Amino acid sequence: MITVTPSASRLQSAIRNPQSAIPTRVLIIGPSNIGDAILTSDVIAAVRDRFPEAHVALVVGERATALFVEDPRIQTLVDADRFDSPLGRLRLAWALWRYRPHVIVDLRHTLYPLLLKPWAAWRYLRRPPKALTHMRERHLWKLRVQVPGLKERSGFRVPGSGYLPRAQSPEPRALWYSAKDISHVEGLGKRWGLDGSRRLVIVCPGARSHIKRWTAEGFARVADRLITEARAQVVFSGEPDEGPVIEEILALMGQRAHSAVGQTTIRQLGALMSRSRLVIANDSASLHVASALGVPTVAIFGPTDEAKYGPTSPQSRVVRRRLFCAPCERPLCRFNHECMRFVTPDEVYDAARQLLDGVASSEQRAASEDVRKP
């Protein structure tokens, strides 16, 4: 994997490869922020399924690069934010033109496909139908339109093909994390003294926008009940700047929980979630990580639309309060944040308990079937 630097000369040397040595060159132009990048994980998995021997170059924003560093599916990783000036965009366009990709997947509707594949421009000008509301489905629709024959040859399941999404299949996972990430998470578990016989619940109370965050009091009450009534172990996760939020929640709790604030990367969070029985999150990057891994999820929504950004895990619940103003999808609340404040701890806990008990029942049935097998 190669990470591209701002230097034009190094960019050209990183992204240009001998054509005779690479059977297929694939360029994927992805989103800027990490939450949207997670929603493209199925696209990357599908491309790798379809072109297993290809050289894949991925262009994403700076925040999204953390998700793909050292990912073996990506051979060249480009930080698009380092080419944000007019001159920088010209340099990036020149380097991509010299790369001469055979396949282009543009999830951002940029001008690069018009430069690199003008004869196929119509594929990149099309917009997903309004009936497809979720961003994950819209990304997969673009992939199917821009890469003809994908659904017939890759076996990956895209909207309109009659197949199921990748998130419903446990292997191979759409979100990649390394052996080092797994080892780091195991070390955290030992440090916290987690009991392997008790269920683990990951709670992610943060979000990039404060108006998408549920109340600290609500998270504290739900976490206390999970520990006392469901005998679960609770770990709070968040970015370093969300530390004060989680500290407030821990101070309001009567039971002991653990904090992973600032102790995991986004991929290590995925490795941690893969060991959990349940994730509780606001509309955030953490929610999309859980969905990409197929982990049972309770999602708390208010100002944003779950039809566009909600969980896609096979086992998930959305808790929200329907008001005349919600979802507004505005950056600032016109009132007093009622869409989040009116969500009760009982509603969130009941949804969490239903999923926990459902997972337990499924595992008990599977164990019984194994015992009955000759």
Per-residue pLDDT of 245-277, as tens digits, reads: 999 999 999 999 999 999 999 999 999 999 999
In a domain, 174, yes or no: no
Place of tokens 């890469």: 147
In a domain, 331, yes or no: yes
The per-residue pLDDT for 173 is 57
- Domain end position, chosen among 110, 143, 168: 168
The per-residue pLDDT for 175 is 82
In a domain, 173, yes or no: no
Regarding whether 250 and 142 lie in a shared domain, the answer is: no
Regarding whether 276 and 142 lie in a shared domain, the answer is: no
Query: Does this model's pTM top 0.75?
Result: yes
In a domain, 272, yes or no: yes
The per-residue pLDDT for 36 is 86
Assign residue 336 the CATH number of its domain.
3.40.50.2000
Q: Which amino acid is at 336?
A: N
Regarding whether 196 and 68 lie in a shared domain, the answer is: no
The per-residue pLDDT for 329 is 73
Regarding whether 339 and 309 lie in a shared domain, the answer is: yes
Regarding whether 317 and 275 lie in a shared domain, the answer is: yes
Buried b (16+ CB within 10 A) or exposed e, 107-118: beebebbeebbe
Q: How does pLDDT run along the chain (374 residues), one tens digit per residue?
A: 444 444 344 445 545 444 444 568 999 999 988 888 898 888 998 999 889 999 999 999 998 998 999 899 999 999 999 998 999 999 999 999 999 999 999 999 899 999 999 999 999 999 999 888 888 899 999 999 999 876 533 433 444 333 223 333 334 457 888 899 999 999 999 999 999 889 999 999 998 888 889 999 999 999 999 999 999 999 999 988 899 999 999 999 999 999 999 999 999 999 999 999 999 999 999 999 999 899 999 999 988 888 888 998 889 999 998 877 767 677 777 777 788 889 999 999 999 999 999 865 555 444 434 433 44
Regarding whether 349 and 213 lie in a shared domain, the answer is: yes
In a domain, 265, yes or no: yes
Contact 232, 296 (CB under 8 A): no
What strands, in cross-sheet order, belong to the sheet with 233-236?
258-259, 233-236, 200-204, 278-282, 297-300, 316-319
- Domain end position, chosen among 168, 195, 217: 168
Range of the domain at 12: 2-168
Q: Give the count of domains, the chain.
A: 2
Instruction: Give the integer Cα–Cα distance in Å for 47 and 151.
Output: 11
Regarding whether 186 and 116 lie in a shared domain, the answer is: no
Regarding whether 262 and 114 lie in a shared domain, the answer is: no
The per-residue pLDDT for 104 is 95
The per-residue pLDDT for 1 is 42
Regarding whether 307 and 268 lie in a shared domain, the answer is: yes
- Domain end position, chosen among 136, 168, 200: 168
Regarding whether 251 and 192 lie in a shared domain, the answer is: yes
- Annotate the chain with three-state secondary structure: CEECCCCHHHHHHHHCCCHHHCCCEEEEECCCCHHHHHHCHHHHHHHHHHCCCCEEEEEECHHHHHHHCCCCCCCEEEEHHHHCCHHHHHHHHHHHHHHCCCEEEECCCCCHHHHHCHHHHHHHHCCCCCCCCCHHHHHHHHHHHHCCCHHHHCCCCCCCCCCCCHHHCCCCCCCCCCHHHHHHHHHHHHHHCCCCCCCEEEEECCCCCHHHCCCHHHHHHHHHHHHHCCCCEEEECCCHHHHHHHHHHHHHCCCCCEECCCCCCHHHHHHHHCCCCEEEEECCHHHHHHHHHCCCEEEECCCCCHHHHCCCCCCEEEECCCCCCCCCCCCCCCCCCHHHHCCCHHHHHHHHHHHHHHHHHHHHHHHHHHHHCC
Regarding whether 142 and 202 lie in a shared domain, the answer is: no
In a domain, 206, yes or no: yes
| Closest to 82 (Cα-Cα) out of 107, 64, 55, 102 | 64
Assign residue 34 the CATH number of its domain.
3.40.50
Regarding whether 185 and 156 lie in a shared domain, the answer is: no
